[in-house]
A and B are shown apart, each in its own frame.
Chain A
Amino acid sequence: MPPYENHEYDVVVIGAGGAGLRAAIEAKELGQHTALVCKSLLGKAHTVMAEGGAAAAMGNVWPEDNWKVHFRDTMRGGKMLNNWRMAQIHAQEAPDRIYELERWGALFDRTKDGRILQRDFGGHRYARLAHVGDRTGLELIRTLQQRAVAMGIDVFMECKILRLLKNADGAVSAAVGYWRPTGEIVTFGAKAFVLATGSIGKSWLYTSNSWESTGDGHAMAAWAGADMIDMECVQFHPTGMVWPLSVRGILVTEGVRGDGGVLRNSEGRRFMFDYIPPMFAAETADTEAEADRWYDDHINNRRPPELLPRDEVARSINSEVKAGRGGPHGGVLLDIATRRSAEDIRRRLPSMYHQFMELAGVDITAQPMEVGPTCHYMMGGVRVEADTEATTVPGLYAAGEVAGGMHGANRLGGNSLSDLLVFGRRAGLAAAEYARGRTVSTAVDDGLVAEVVAEAEAPLGRDGGESPYEVHSALQQVMQELVGIIRTEDELVRALDELDTLDERARKLSVSGGRAYNPGWNLSTDLPAMLATSRMVAKGALERRESRGGHTREDYPAADPELGKVNLVQRVDADGAFTLTPEPLLEMPDDLQALFEEAPH
């Protein structure tokens, strides 16, 4: 056995976006020897791209707001597939987590009386998003990063984890990975691991996700035997850039609509009025006049249909484009120029202004933006216990996007940043308590390590195989075309066939160059996780024969009440195959159930 670099900790957190940082801070605060391991440099994780804000019912703008309203909005937005307990904890604790960031140095935009200002977003009844212009994610990650650094948490940057290993008791006790700069193998032994690895979006062609979103945590949890739920529930954000082609998919914040922007088709019509679903009809304006009054008076007017939940808006845009009423580059038009002053736009949406000016040559204070759906967020993920974020595998916790349940079938904008904070903290806390005083064998099994290393290294020594870039590109085509925003049985079956072929191709890759900072090799080690998560998405999508939230079946366009009562649970069996079982949702207690019987407005 080659002598690999090994590190021993109480708690190892994998992923240093909002959830990972918050988990590590909590574990460290509780006195546990804690490491934070991330694929990129610290502060570059995907959280940095979040724009609009963090949802928390602080009631600073609308005193009528409270956790119950937030809870109700979240559940309805998620089409009731959510883990109700997570949605409750989230709504109750989000304000504390925001105030805590302020104590750590975050500078949120203010109300006139000096409190944290809150902005409107889709699906939220009241203006609820704490924000900093349209760069809230940067503020959040920087605040947490600076806190983590000040606490002296050990950070392993540019370190990719390949696999989790279990000890003889069946608990996760080690992880194997490599340093990207050198390519050298490194192992971690720990009493508890927290997965905070974010999303899976890089398997689609048009995505707002960065190269890091390769589903590492989703796949590693599944390979370690954890239950995965509702993997078919992928969010396509309604507004990504569509032109130039090279920036297609880059996010355009929902804040544009929250701050007054409207969607129009090529005929100039605000088409969202044509797509108000019955579930939200009672609380959605049906005239432009009422919708426009709502921005100043939420009590006596109903909300504009542009602020319906994301799944509704994304599908509507898709339909308009399909009907031939799209813009010049296959999107629709998002107009804020005629709605707000140039000064307001530049002040409230500075990054959007620069993004369009510099990348597309479009001045959003004078012209509309052309936008279309882009793969954005993974609602499905590792099944966790709501209060502790414990997975079904001992010693393994999951928080943030890698965890499933919180957002059901569709996430509301702004609920992700608050999710990171609330459940990142709880995961760190539970992992620390689990680790405290526990003696766990963290001895790394050399044989298992050798297997993982051999698999990762294979493409480096192989001649004549395919390039990982080709297989990745083929995967993106398959997922974009066959497992996209609108799905059908035929296409999903084809997708699963194609994934079989891609699995084969991925086993025969060749990579040129050495181990040190070799993106080709790095991609070859990301592909197994991308393929595994893509398979779970396609399999779940095939089995969920209904349309719900982010999952839309052309052949089953309605929601099926029976399927609305189950999670689709996927597991890896002893032979490495994925199995799928519908299992009942947690039952909601009567007092919370009653919230859904009230008048909606």
Chain B
Amino acid sequence: MAEVTMQVWRGDTAGGDFTEYVMPAVEGEVVLDVIHRIQAGPAPDLACRWNCKAGKCGSCSAEINGLPRLMCMTRMDQLPEDEPVVVAPMRTFPVIRDLVTDVSFNYTMARQVPPLKPRAPEADGTYRMQQIDIERGQEFRKCIECFMCQDVCHVIRDHEDNKARYAGPRLFIRYMELESHPLDTDDRRELLRQGMGLGMCNITKCCTEVCPEHIKITDNGIIPLKERVVDASYDPVAWLGRKILRRTKRSAAEAAAEAPAQAAPTWVDAPGPADDTAEGPAPAGGGPAPDA
């Protein structure tokens, strides 16, 4: 019977190494299937994350033969035959155990995004938006938060200290989604420039290459975002003018009809990454978020 050789990184914060597992080959399998068979057989405690097994939840990200991939969408028959399949955890995030990493950085950054601030609705209480106007936002909202774009981003992959002042590609497309949202009235450009490190991205497009949803992170997200931020930064008067103009178009009634008051976003109180260690032990994905 044909066999597959898997070299899987096993270890924890104290260190680790690759362990080899030779498993029978099964037609049509993806890497995650083989990992599951290893769990059901030789290594019941092999840690990995997964949920949907259909490329929709973004849980099972790993570095397969050196490249970030979703284990559930990587077919074994598309990897080189007669070579071991090397499976390692994402390198940019601290390892918890085996293939599971502490991705709380991404959640910390997500807490700092000022949420949508919608304009007033139409008279009937709902909104009209044209399909063409929402398609850019929809592209970014395809993001399954696999965090592989964060994993390959040089700014944080090789420079741990940058994480304190850099949101990363996943969050940049979230900001761009809000910036291009037809209903949004907020402006996050100064925050992006000062607090989120947008300028540190040097558009090498590594993030775009690994995106399993084929989102054009750099071309459609980061570059337009940089342009907007530069506009605001170089010509604050013009920006202010546009902002005031937009404001004065709204009546007081419209303003009052806005969405219910949001809780103060965490970033107001705690610029930069929030101190995540205040409460209890810090488990994977952070512990409880500080209550704003």
Contact = CB atoms under 8 A, between A and B. Distances in A.
B287 A156 contact: yes
A110 B286 contact: no
Contacts of A46: 51-52
B200 to A, nearest CB: 24
B45 A181 contact: no
Contacts of B125: 99
A354 B284 contact: no
A150 interface: yes
Interface string A270-301: 00000000000000000000000000000000
A296 to B, nearest CB: 20
A489 interface: no
B266 to A, nearest CB: 7
Contact of B47 (A43, A138, A156, A519): A519
A517 B54 contact: no
Interface stretch (B27-35, B157-165, B221-229, B236-244): B27-35
Interface stretch (A240-248, A319-327, A440-448, A579-587): A240-248
A55 to B, nearest CB: 17
B144 to A, nearest CB: 7
A54 interface: no
Interface stretch (B95-103, B148-156, B203-211): B95-103
Nearest to A37: B288
B285 A146 contact: no
A152 B126 CA distance: 26
A138 to B, nearest CB: 7
Given A243-B28, A247-B53, A250-B54, A152 B292 contact: yes
Contacts of B103: 41
Given A107-B141, A114-B130, A142-B141, A182 B260 contact: no
Interface residues of A, number: 82
Interface string B135-153: 0011001111100000000
A29 interface: yes
B251 interface: no
A562 B260 CA distance: 49
Contacts of A149: 107, 110-111, 289
A513 B55 contact: no
Contact of B290 (A5, A152, A469): A152
Contacts of A157: 107, 283-286
B281 interface: yes
A95 B103 CA distance: 36
A147 B115 contact: yes
B45 A246 contact: no
B97 A48 contact: no
A341 B171 CA distance: 35
A515 to B, nearest CB: 10
B131 interface: yes
Given A43-B145, A157-B284, A158-B283, A244 B29 contact: yes
A351 B213 CA distance: 9
Interface string B267-292: 00000000000001101111111111
A211 B48 CA distance: 12
Given A5-B280, A114-B129, A512-B44, A150 B263 contact: yes
B39 interface: yes
Contacts of A150: 113-115, 262-263, 265
Interface stretch (B1-9, B16-24, B56-64, B187-195): B56-64
B40 interface: yes
B75 A41 contact: no
Contacts, number: 222
Contacts of A520: 39, 44-45
B232 interface: no
B114 to A, nearest CB: 8
Contacts of B53: 210, 247, 250
Given A114-B130, A181-B96, A473 B285 contact: no
A521 interface: yes
A179 B181 CA distance: 37
Contact of B39 (A110, A358, A469, A516): A469
B242 to A, nearest CB: 22
A438 interface: no
Interface string A481-518: 00000000000000000000000000000011110111
B interface bracket (residues with beta carbon within 8 Å of A): 35 or more
B52 A138 contact: no
A180 interface: yes
Interface centre among B52, B128, B137 (most CB of A within 10 A): B52
A517 B131 contact: no
A92 interface: no
Contacts of B289: 149, 152-155
A243 B29 CA distance: 10
B285 A42 contact: yes
Contacts of A467: 40, 44
Nearest to A355: B54
A170 interface: no
A511 B113 CA distance: 42
A133 B102 CA distance: 32
Given A114-B130, A519-B39, A41 B263 contact: no
B51 A212 contact: yes
B288 A109 contact: no
B288 to A, nearest CB: 4
A138 B144 contact: yes
Contact of A44 (B45, B51, B260): B51
Given A42-B107, A103-B118, A184-B281, A251 B54 contact: yes
A512 B50 CA distance: 21
Contact of B45 (A113, A114, A142, A514): A514
Contacts of A592: none
A461 interface: no
Nearest to A110: B131
Given A7-B288, A156-B287, A115 B126 contact: yes
A41 B287 contact: no
B54 A139 contact: no
B134 interface: yes
B151 to A, nearest CB: 15
B141 A132 contact: yes
24 contacts: A41-B103, A103-B183, A104-B259, A107-B134, A138-B141, A138-B142, A142-B141, A149-B289, A152-B264, A152-B289, A155-B289, A180-B283, A181-B102, A211-B50, A212-B51, A244-B29, A247-B28, A351-B55, A469-B44, A470-B40, A513-B45, A517-B96, A517-B97, A517-B284
Given A243-B28, A519-B46, A520-B45, 15 more contacts: A40-B59, A44-B51, A99-B126, A105-B118, A150-B265, A184-B283, A245-B26, A245-B28, A351-B55, A359-B75, A469-B44, A514-B45, A517-B47, A518-B45, A519-B47
The 3 closest A-B pairs by CB, nearest first: A244-B28, A513-B45, A152-B292
Interface of A: 5, 7, 29, 33, 35, 40-46, 48-49, 99, 102-105, 107, 109-110, 113-116, 132-133, 135, 137-139, 142, 146-147, 149-159, 179-182, 184, 210-212, 243-247, 250-251, 351, 354-355, 358-360, 467-470, 473, 511-514, 516-521
